[in-house]
Amino acid sequence: YNLRFATRLSRKHPNIWSFIQLIQSEHVRFEHILIQLDAGASAPKPSTKTKAFQLRLDTLYNRCHEKEINAKELLSGLSLLIGKKKKHFIIFSILSLLFYYY
């Protein structure tokens, strides 16, 4: 998500007006997607890579929840997962998982 913002701004230090325009366009995009989903459009199908990553993430979470691994081993496993996956939005998902668990 943050990578999306950075590429759409295409500057390291944008001014406030270009940032406001970006926020407005993202809001319109989000509303457009909501209208499509309300009208019956289906969500995009996850790719094979996304499914495999989600399965690994769920397995780690379940093993920690079942007390098969401790928090240190969970973080180690998560860091290996992140190292394999280069997309930045995955980090947010993992951090939210950690905050939910602890």
Sign of CA dihedral 53, 54, 57, 62: negative
CA distance 33 to 21: 18
* 34 and 77 part of one domain: no
Is pLDDT at 102 greater than 80 in this prediction? no
Beta strands in 13-89 (DSSP E): none
Is pLDDT at 50 greater than 90 in this prediction? no
Report pLDDT for 11.
67
Q: Is residue 43 part of a domain?
A: no
* 30 and 58 part of one domain: no
The band of 28, judged by pLDDT with boundaries at 50, 70 and 90, is: very high
* 11 and 30 part of one domain: yes
* 74 and 95 part of one domain: yes
The band of 60, judged by pLDDT with boundaries at 50, 70 and 90, is: very high
Where in the sequence is the domain holding 73, given as residue range(s)? Answer: 48-101
| Proportion of the chain above pLDDT 90, given as a percent | 18
Instruction: Please name which of 77, 85, 32, 41 lies closest in space to residue 59, comparing C-alpha atoms.
Output: 77
Is pLDDT at 87 greater than 60 in this prediction? no
Domains in the chain: how many in total? 2
* 15 and 55 part of one domain: no
- SS3 of 35-53: the string is HHHHCCCCCCCCCHHHHHH
* 52 and 97 part of one domain: yes
